[in-house]
Amino acid sequence: MNRTALHSIVLAAGQGTRMKSSLPKVLHPVGGKPMIGHVLDTVHAAGASECHVVYGHGGGQVQAWVGAQRADRRVQWAQQAQQLGTGHAVLQAMPQVPDDAVVLVAYGDVPLIRSETLAALAAAGHDSLAIATVQLANPRGYGRILRNAEGKIAGIVEENDASEEQRAIREANTGLLAAPARLLRPWLNALRNDNRKGEYYLTDVVAAAVREGLTVQSIGVASAEEVEGVNDRLQLAQQERVYQRRQAEALMREGVSFADPSRFELRGTLKVGRDVFIDVGVVIEGDCSLADGVSVGAYSVLKDVMLGANTQVLSHSVLEGLDAGQHCRIGPFARVRPGSRFADEVHIGNFVEVKKGELGTATKAGHLAYIGDAMVGARVNISAGVITCNYDGANKHTTVIGDDAFIGTDSQLVAPVTVERGAYVAAGSTITKTAPADALTICRSRDQKSIAGWKKPSKSG
């Protein structure tokens, strides 16, 4: 496209009444990200140097989300105070667009449009008007493309204004278009609202271009899924499934095996090595990385997790903010909270919770333990029922456990406290002072009593 600047105008002013939600329509998520987030990423990938968002209903919420998530990308705002149609909406942003730019119009509720499609559309709209069209078996609700005897585009008719013959046309308008700003601006200013809805249709610029003798270019979209908009929660769910299918297909091409790709959820980004296996019901959030040979068990949730080669996550585990080494074994039913780091060969078993814990090579906590704010060395054994008591009601404190230590069943380590290298803590101990290296430390009640003749309480009534 030479060096002509590409300005994208994203329409996001609709109320979305059919969503029946207090959340603006464009903020409803697909793949864990609001629809408008997908669109802004896509227009940026297509080459837009400037992005103008037309807002209306819930504009404050939309601006707040975009401002928080897209601070590194400049967005200009234009308000459509009255909902007077798509042509009127685009016109609100045009004062910010220079005449020597190309304008690309996209929609905040069409989240699955591809950057390749938008880039091709922008290139076609460098010198004249270009629109994206799609062939539909059932084009109900879409404007129809009118072509002359030579097959050139002559106009677009909205369904409400179409004749029966025109409604039989299968080539539909997607609403996406590109044109030089110097041409688009006067076309928009000349729009009329003498139609059944009393709105200013963006599609009427097609007829204006034809009247000026310009050839309207068309870019065919191969799949209707790419250009379908979201107007209700049913359509939102349909777009979610399309999105997830796309992600699973892309991952399988990278060598991932799924037990069932239709039961996988990606709500962020995932980098994978070779021979990764993902079981059913797995949810990936945030930024995750799975190295060669990693397997993730059924119904596990991973958020902002990095797993080294050949690490296994067993079923029903919830991991967040974990950086784990190679050959680790985590779960089933394990929970790891943010700020945790595992060296190689760490084993965290069922119903073990780790929070901000650093665990050394080959350390094990097989079951029923809480390890919080702890620095644990290598080859440590943490038995069932062990708790690091890290919170005093006001502040968090650290527990330090040296290499080769053994923490017996049902022990409590009251932080701040240190268990030195090779120390052995007897079962049932409450440790409040340093447990010295290579020694047995035991702290239990002195007397064990048995009361003869004791009677078990009975239920009253």
pLDDT in tens, 294-337: 999 999 999 999 999 999 999 999 999 999 999 999 999 999 99
Better-scored residue on pLDDT, 138 or 277: 277
Among 44, 327, 367, 397, the one annotated catalytic: 367
Q: How far apart are CA 337 and CA 401, in angstroms?
A: 19
Name the amino acid, one letter, at 157.
V
Quick check: 72 pLDDT over 80? no
pLDDT range class, residue 1, cuts 50, 70, 90: very low
Name the amino acid, one letter, at 352.
V
The pLDDT value recorded for residue 195 is 85
Least confident of 71-75, 172-176, 230-234, 263-267: 71-75
The pLDDT value recorded for residue 57 is 85
Quick check: 74 pLDDT over 90? no
Which residues make beta-bridge pairs with 257? Answer: 277
367 counts as catalytic: yes
For residue 370, which of 419, 330, 411 has the smallest C-alpha distance? 411
How confident is the model over 365-376, as a mean pLDDT? 97
Quick check: 2 pLDDT over 50? no
Quick check: 448 pLDDT over 70? no
How confident is the model over 64-70, as a mean pLDDT? 83
Quick check: 445 pLDDT over 80? no
The pLDDT value recorded for residue 16 is 85
The three-state secondary structure class of 314 is coil
E strand or H helix at 55, and its extent? Answer: strand 50-55
Listed by start position, the domains of the chain span 6-227, 246-441
Which residues make beta-bridge pairs with 130? Answer: 178, 217
The pLDDT value recorded for residue 343 is 98
How confident is the model over 335-347, as a mean pLDDT? 98
State the fold for domain 246-441: UDP N-Acetylglucosamine Acyltransferase; domain 1 (2.160.10)
- Sort 384 into a burial class: Cβ within 10 Å, 0-12 / 13-18 / 19+: middle
What does residue 15 show for φ and ψ, rounded to 5 degrees?
-75, -35
Rg value, the chain, Cα: 31
Q: Express as a percent the part of the chain with pLDDT over 90.
A: 88
Pick the CATH number of 6-227 from 3.30.750.24, 3.90.550.10, 3.50.50.60, 3.40.50.300: 3.90.550.10
**Where would I find the beta strands (DSSP E) of 181-263?**
217-220, 257-258
What's the number of CA atoms in the CB half-sphere (13 Å) around residue 432?
4
How confident is the model over 258-281, as a mean pLDDT? 97
